């Protein structure tokens, strides 16, 4: 008999289809927060009036802003932002931007709770995974300062209680996990996403396809996760091309946001990710590849590698994406190509000389050890990387 666990996230509410400024004002008042500190996309802050609208809507509740979070949330940027939030006596962190900004907000809250003020202090809180899949997540008290997330990409980090933060000295991105890391409120505002570069929106949408495809083909799937993943794939396979064709299509953008919510609900229902996520995590932290691009490149090759272990589950992917009877790896590869996104590692600057280091580091990624076809040594990863070269 199948057994498992659905983990209900500590999210108060998800607000969708209204402006970020209006939604944030209402939620800050509801939560009675008076020192609201913003961590935002630098480009959005300097090139649009979106952040100014949010700041104006907060009025006297506004306490400050930080807009210098680099990709993959480096530790030093997080420390700088935490110092600014601490100085502002923040009682609420609001993140307005992509996945790195969202993760940085989680990590800033961790810094505030545990008075982290130097780079090495992060190590006491990170998840440790050994090459054989064993490891541990340290036990510690979670953040007490709440977070409201207003995402402008489809990375979906706001929907789970984990953050990625990169040690720039070793070029390794570590995971941090605690139930209280998840934002208390999520505001999905399609209008604010029109400033996101189209390639970012589309590629992070493929990241969400990766969530759903790896989850659906996981040996840990169940009827609840299946329902979430299948509908996520249906929505994404239709809505992402609609946005590419017409970036002003707000209904299509909102469908994308609903889809990433569904995909993450499937993860909460117990399904696990696989080697595409594991390799992508290392490609991001070590090679600086945007996470959306890692999924664009790796997902089809990982599916092809896994086909001997889960061909029946992969058929569900192709069917949900409107191509019943076709091979899922081919469906994904064609979908990515039609969106005009990269499909090879060389296109994002990753060379064969880096494959050995990537493979060794991927052995320490938690999702690798949940891959449907067991991967027990770096040589198997080299095979997948070579196919994606």
Note the pLDDT tens digit of each residue in 89-134. Answer: 999 999 999 999 999 999 999 999 999 999 999 999 999 999 999 9
CATH T-level fold of 197-388? Dehydroquinate synthase-like, alpha domain (1.20.1090)
Tell me what pLDDT residue 270 has: 87
User: pTM for the whole thing?
Assistant: 0.95
Provide the pLDDT confidence category of residue 215 given band limits of 50, 70 and 90.
very high
Is 286's pLDDT higher than 80?
yes
pLDDT in tens, 178-211: 999 999 999 999 999 999 999 999 999 999 999 9
Q: Where in the chain is the domain with CATH 1.20.1090.10?
A: 197-388
Is 362's pLDDT higher than 90?
yes
Mean pLDDT for the stretch of residues 328-342: 98
Mean pLDDT for the stretch of residues 152-169: 95
Positive or negative: CA dihedral 148, 208, 378, 373: positive
Tell me what pLDDT residue 384 has: 98
Tell me what pLDDT residue 83 has: 98
Tell me what pLDDT residue 46 has: 93
Mean pLDDT for the stretch of residues 320-342: 98
Is 2's pLDDT higher than 80?
no
Tell me what pLDDT residue 4 has: 77
Tell me what pLDDT residue 248 has: 97
**CA-to-CA dists, residue 210 to 39, 177, 207, 262, 316, angstroms:** 27, 21, 5, 13, 14
Tell me what pLDDT residue 281 has: 94
Is 250's pLDDT higher than 90?
yes
Tell me what pLDDT residue 6 has: 81
Tell me what pLDDT residue 230 has: 98
Q: Where in the chain is the domain with CATH 3.40.50.1970?
A: 13-191
Provide the pLDDT confidence category of residue 17 given band limits of 50, 70 and 90.
confident
Q: Which long-range contacts (CB under 8 A, 24 or more apart) does 244-249 make?
A: 244/198, 244/202, 244/339, 244/340, 247/194, 247/198, 248/194
In the chain, the percentage of residues whose pLDDT exceeds 70 is 100
One CATH from 3.60.21.10, 3.40.50.1970, 3.50.50.60, 3.30.70.20 for 13-191: 3.40.50.1970
Provide the pLDDT confidence category of residue 295 given band limits of 50, 70 and 90.
very high
Q: Which residues of 112-145 are buried (b: 16+ CB within 10 A; e: fewer)?
A: bbbebeeeeebeebbbebebebeeebeeeeebeb
Question: What is the distance between the alpha carbons of residues 256 and 265, in angstroms, rounded to a whole number?
Answer: 14
Tell me what pLDDT residue 141 has: 97
């Amino acid at each position: 008999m199948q057994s498992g666990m659905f983990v209900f996230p500590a999210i108060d509410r998800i607000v969708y289809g209204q402006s970020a400024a209006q939604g944030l004002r209402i939620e800050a008042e509801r939560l009675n927060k008076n020192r609201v500190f913003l961590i935002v996309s630098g480009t959005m802050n300097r090139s649009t009036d979106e952040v100014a609208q949010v700041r104006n809507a907060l009025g006297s509740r506004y306490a400050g802003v930080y807009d210098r979070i680099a990709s993959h949330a480096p530790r030093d940027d997080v420390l700088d932002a935490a110092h600014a939030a601490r100085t502002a006596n923040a009682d609420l962190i609001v993140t307005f931007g992509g996945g790195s900004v969202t993760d940085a907000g989680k990590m800033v809250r961790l810094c505030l709770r545990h008075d982290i003020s130097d780079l090495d202090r992060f190590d006491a809180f990170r998840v440790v995974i050994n090459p054989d899949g064993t490891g541990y997540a340290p036990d510690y008290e979670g953040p007490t300062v709440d977070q409201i997330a207003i995402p402008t990409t489809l990375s979906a980090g706001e929907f789970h209680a984990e953050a990625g933060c990169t040690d720039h000295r070793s070029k390794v991105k570590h995971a941090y996990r605690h139930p209280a890391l998840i934002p208390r409120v999520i505001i999905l505002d399609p209008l604010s996403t029109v400033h996101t570069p189209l390639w970012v929106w589309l590629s992070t949408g493929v990241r969400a396809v990766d969530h759903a495809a790896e989850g659906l083909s996981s040996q840990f799937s169940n009827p609840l996760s299946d329902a979430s993943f299948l509908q996520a794939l249906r929505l994404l396979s239709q809505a992402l091309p609609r946005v590419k064709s017409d970036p002003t299509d707000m209904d299509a953008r909102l469908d994308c946001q609903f889809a990433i919510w569904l995909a993450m609900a499937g993860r909460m229902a117990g399904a696990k990710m696989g080697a595409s996520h594991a390799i992508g995590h290392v490609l991001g932290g070590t090679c600086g590849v945007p996470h959306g691009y890692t999924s664009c490149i790796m997902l089809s090759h990982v599916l092809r590698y896994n086909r001997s272990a889960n061909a029946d589950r992969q058929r569900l992917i192709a069917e949900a994406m409107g191509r019943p009877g076709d091979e899922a790896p081919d469906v994904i590869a064609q979908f990515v190509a039609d969106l005009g996104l990269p499909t090879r590692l060389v296109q994002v600057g990753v060379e064969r000389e880096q494959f050995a280091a990537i493979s060794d580091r991927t052995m320490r990624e938690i999702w690798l050890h949940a891959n449907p076809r067991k991967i027990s040594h770096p040589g198997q990863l080299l095979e997948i990387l070579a196919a994606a070269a």
